[in-house]
A = this chain, B = another copy of it.
Amino acid sequence: MRDYIGFLQGNNLKATFQRISILKSIDKHGHMNIDEIYDDVKEQNPTLSLATIYKNIILMQENNILVEVPIVNKKSKYEIRKSKHIHYICLNCASIEDYEISFDEQVSSLNLPHKEGFEVTDTQINLYGYCSKCH
């Protein structure tokens, strides 16, 4: 179990139960979109509002606690920032699995020509297909 309170206070964000619930929910499930977070978190805290989730997702992205994972034809999901990895995304059930591979490994293995003047600072690699349950 991660130190959610530390994540928050380290960024001068108060450790409210709403924020901790959101982080716990995302961490438990790996990758979630706004509605999934809302549904999950409401079970424990029925009064927690959607607006609070929106505000905090934005805030936590700005503070590098969360990362957005945009997905073709679906609403974006969010994950806790963690060691560099790529995503296997199921086209059927939209589940996401991670595979850890460092930034340097990703960039170098792609074997790209140095694109003149373009400075790469981050990568986003998604492999779409069908997970073991869906094919």
Interface residues of A (CB under 8 A from B): 61, 68, 70-73, 76, 86, 88, 90-91, 97, 99, 101, 105-107, 109-113, 115-132, 135
Contact = CB atoms under 8 A, between A and B. Distances in A.
Chain B CB within 10 A, most for which of A70, A99, A117? A70
Main secondary structure of the interface of A (DSSP, over half): mixed
B119 A129 contact: yes
Nearest to A67: B72
A120 B86 CA distance: 13
Contact of A129 (B86, B101, B116, B121): B121
A99 B127 contact: no
Nearest to A70: B70
